[in-house]
């Protein structure tokens, strides 16, 4: 089933700006990441999306490829981002079949609701391994190709016009705002995302001289994502939306447009930055609870959250 263009990209972008470019995306079958890749493919890129579920990943790749005639989108399933060799093999296949890796989106993540008291050591480690180690493995597996692309598409101090061959050598990490002020039941995720943010900043410093940019997109609450559906019960959804500064929650298109900006010529001098796309949600959120888990009542009750994982 085709997705209407208006659902994943605004009409302000010029067709073909990513022609002959290749994007490599972990978590590429997820709601947000698939929207990011869909927008890039619509604008001329080819893509390789990575996931653990073979059927879901291959199905998503076929669907994304329909947005533009002639688009090439490879779906590689059975890839565990916690295992470097698995990602390295996927990156090598991407380059072999599509010719390069110009853009990387590190979007694989794990999450569940749990207080620190309820959170086991293994559960904490699992999220750190998927989010932090997985992001690092994604970087290491694609870094030689990012450097090659960044060198090829480098803009020097005297260049006033965009490179005739476009942009390249850019990586985006999909993070969150949970650690900006602290969020109950999300200590593990907050720590992991803080680590990802630090990694991105280090890349910007160490690989900027080689033409590579590294940035973070921190989404706020995004409609029709599995996480939001589980975290926001239907009986409180209307009140929650009304409490947002813009009177709405975000859409996948908001994140996709931010991605296009950072990967396009318009983002050529932006690196080492965090682009928060949340409608000012984090500045007003009280952090008083998550879904039906009310703070501090749930913590003090001694109860366990029986439906944790999503």
Instruction: For the domain made up of 18-301, give the CATH fold.
Output: Rossmann fold (3.40.50)
Choice among 170-174, 201-205, 221-225 with the minimum mean pLDDT: 221-225
Please say if the pLDDT value at position 232 is more than 70: no
pLDDT at 296 (0 to 100): 65
What confidence tens digit (pLDDT) does each residue in 97-136 have? 999 999 999 999 988 888 999 999 999 999 999 999 999 9
Give the residue among 280, 279, 262 at the shortest CA–CA distance from 271: 262
Mean pLDDT value across residues 194-212: 97
Quick check: 174 and 107 in contact, CB under 8 A? Answer: yes
42 vs 111, more confident:
42
Domain ranges of the chain: 18-301
Grade residue 231 by pLDDT with cuts at 50, 70 and 90.
Answer: low
Q: What is the pLDDT of residue 164?
A: 57
Res. 307: pLDDT tops 90: no
Identify the band that residue 310 occupies on the pLDDT scale cut at 50, 70 and 90: very low
Is this model's pTM higher than 0.85 or not?
yes
pLDDT of residue 223: 85
Which residues are annotated as catalytic? 175, 193
pLDDT digits (tens, 9 = 90+) for 133-177: 999 999 999 999 999 999 999 888 876 665 556 789 999 999 999
Q: For residue 252, is pLDDT > 70? A: yes
Residue 43 has pLDDT above 70, yes or no: yes
* For residue 283, pLDDT beyond 50: yes
180-184, 239-243, 262-266: which has the highest mean pLDDT?
A: 262-266
Per the prediction, the chain carries an average pLDDT of 90
- Say whether pLDDT at 1 is over 60: no
Tens digits of residue pLDDT in 254-277:
999 999 999 999 999 999 999 999
């Amino acid at each position: 089933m085709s997705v209407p263009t208006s659902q994943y990209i605004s009409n302000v972008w010029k067709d073909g700006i990513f022609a002959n470019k290749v994007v490599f995306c972990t978590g590429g079958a997820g709601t947000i990441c698939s929207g990011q890749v869909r927008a890039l493919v619509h604008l001329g890129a080819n893509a390789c999306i990575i996931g653990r579920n073979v059927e879901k990943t291959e199905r998503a790749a076929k669907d994304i490829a329909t947005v533009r005639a002639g688009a090439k989108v490879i779906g590689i399933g059975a890839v565990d981002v916690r295992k470097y060799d698995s990602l390295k093999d996927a990156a090598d296949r991407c380059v072999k079949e599509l010719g390069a890796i110009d853009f990387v989106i590190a979007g694989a993540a794990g999450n569940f609701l749990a207080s620190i008291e309820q959170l086991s050591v293994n559960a904490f480690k699992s999220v750190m391994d998927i989010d932090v180690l997985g992001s690092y493995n994604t970087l290491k597996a694609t870094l030689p190709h990012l450097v090659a692309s960044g060198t090829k598409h480098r803009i020097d101090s005297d260049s006033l016009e965009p490179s005739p061959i476009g942009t390249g050598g850019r990586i985006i990490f999909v993070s969150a705002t949970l650690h900006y002020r602290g969020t109950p039941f999300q200590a593990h995720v907050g720590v992991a995302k803080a680590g990802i943010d630090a990694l991105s900043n280090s890349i910007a410093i160490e690989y900027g001289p080689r033409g590579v940019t590294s940035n973070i997109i921190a989404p706020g609450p995004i409609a029709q994502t599995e996480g939001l559906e589980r975290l926001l019960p239907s009986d409180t959804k209307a009140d929650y939306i009304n409490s947002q500064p813009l009177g709405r929650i975000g859409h996948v298109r908001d994140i996709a447009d931010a991605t296009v900006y950072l990967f396009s010529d318009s983002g050529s001098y932006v690196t080492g930055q965090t682009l928060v796309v949340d409608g000012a949600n984090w500045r007003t959120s009280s952090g008083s609870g998550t879904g039906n888990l009310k703070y501090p009542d749930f913590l003090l009750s001694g109860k366990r959250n029986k439906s944790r994982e999503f």
